[in-house]
Each structure stands twice: as C-alpha cells, then as structure tokens.
Amino acid sequence: MVGWVLASVFLSDPLLALGFLLVMVVPCSSMAIGYTGLAKGDLELATVVVAVSFVLAIVAVPVWMTIFASRYAAAVPIGDLINSILTVLVAPMALGYVTRRGLLRWLGDERFAAIGPLFPVLSLLGMYSIVFLIFLAKATMILDHWQTVAILLIPNAIFIGLSLAVLTWLDRRLHLGYGEHMAVAFTATGKNNGTAIAIATTAFSPMVAIPAATMPIFQILFMVLYLRAAPRLHAWFEPRAASAVPLSSAAGLGGAER
C-alpha cells in the first residue's frame, strides 16, 4: 500500500511506477540475514522469513503485478512472467539446495562453515554486476530520461526510511525482543533487487528494471546506518537487560567489597 501511494505521488511514467511496485513485492534480500547476524539479532527468525518470502513470491509476484498493471493500463505477459519467476526464483533455490548438499558431502561441516562468509559477498557482487550491466546496456535511454530517473531517488529514500521508522515503533509496541525486531526490520525492509531486475528485464522491459537498479543506493546506506544504531536500539527494546549488572560483574564487585 505504501509503495502504491509513493508511486502514485512521485512517478508519472507507467513503466517506472510498475518497476517500483515490482520491487515492493519481490522476496526480501538474503543479505538481510547477514545484517541480522552483524546486529546480533535472531538469525533463525531471519532465515525463516527469507525462505518463506521466496516461496510466497512464486504466487504473490504474478498476482500483485497483474493488479498493479491494471492500474496503469499496462499488459502483463503472464507466460513470460511465470517463466522468469521459475528461472530467477525456483531454479536458483533448487540448484542452491543441491549445491549445498554437494559441498557439505565434499568438504564436510567444518570446511563448509569456513567458506560460508564468502557466499554473501559473492551474492552482493553478483547483484552489483547485474546493476552495472543494466546501466551499461541502456545508458542512452537512462540519459534521455535522467529527470524521471532522478525522481526515483525520492520514493526510494522515503520507503526505506519510513519502513524502518514504522517497524521500530510497531515492534516496540508489540513488545518484541531486540533480536526478533532486528530480524523483522532487516527482512521487511531489504528487498531482493537482483531478483527484481532479472524479472523486469526478462518479463517486461529494461525501463521497468531501473527502480530496482537505483534502490540499492539507499537500501545499503539505511541498513548500515540502522546497524550502527544497534546499541541504542538494544537499550530501547530491552532496557532491563541493558541496565542489569552481569552476574560475573556483580560477583566481582561483591568480592572486592569483602
């Protein structure tokens, strides 16, 4: 709903608006698990949310894009859209599972865990490569519409900033713990822009992919800033735990007094 309002207010070009709404309905980014881990949040919850969002997207993306396209009188190539989802979402999940099982059998648990930190880096580099290729292939088109593209920066920033602010307030009111909140905040806000770009270019047109290509500019910035605020958020969500003296420290103080 927020994305629909922002698209209606700021984006007059139907293709850009459709691309912006596509970003809203794609699964959450797997990098959200990495951010949750860095913030010492609930990794299990973040992993479950990411997995469920990928599964739900198989049905949610075609349904929502059909609804959104009718708003802008744009045709949705259902066959191409389903093929792109099978190629971009289902096939990588299946191949990822098979690859993981193969690596575990070949390397063992310890060696596989040792190379685990490389996977988020490779995922991020892959996304940036896709973004680079989109801008390289359509540089002339982007320059011809640079005013429209520049306007995208406004709804992108508003969406991410507003999402983090609302989620922080709402999770606090719902009495979620710090770890649960960080998992919810990063998975709800972080969008899988690489998936959105791939779906847009295979099922629609490169113009539809531009919103997803510009979203990482603010997504990474806001995520890092939110990560830097983790100590304050921890104190706000769990004031008792933050103010309590650890048992080891209390024992040490008691021994010193004696």
pLDDT digits (tens, 9 = 90+) for 154-209: 888 888 888 889 999 998 888 889 999 999 999 888 888 777 887 887 777 777 87
* Distance between CA atoms of residues 88 and 26, nearest Å: 11
pLDDT digits (tens, 9 = 90+) for 111-161: 877 877 777 667 667 666 766 776 676 666 667 767 766 778 888 888 888
Q: Say what the pLDDT of residue 169 is.
A: 93
Query: Structural domain boundaries of the chain?
Result: 2-253
Q: Say what the pLDDT of residue 145 is.
A: 66
Q: Say what the pLDDT of residue 251 is.
A: 42
List own/partner pairs for 126-130 with CB under 8 A and 24 or more apart.
126/194, 127/193, 127/194, 127/216, 128/216, 130/194, 130/197, 130/198
Share of the chain above pLDDT 70, in %: 80
- Report the SS3 class of residue 27: coil
Share of the chain above pLDDT 90, in %: 4
Q: Is 2.30.40.10 the CATH number for 2-253? A: no
When pLDDT is cut at 50, 70 and 90, the band that residue 241 belongs to is very low
Tokens of 197: 């770009």
DSSP code of residue 28: B
Give the torsion through C-alpha atoms of 139, 144, 146, 149, to 10 deg: -80
Q: Say what the pLDDT of residue 131 is.
A: 63
Q: Say what the pLDDT of residue 198 is.
A: 78
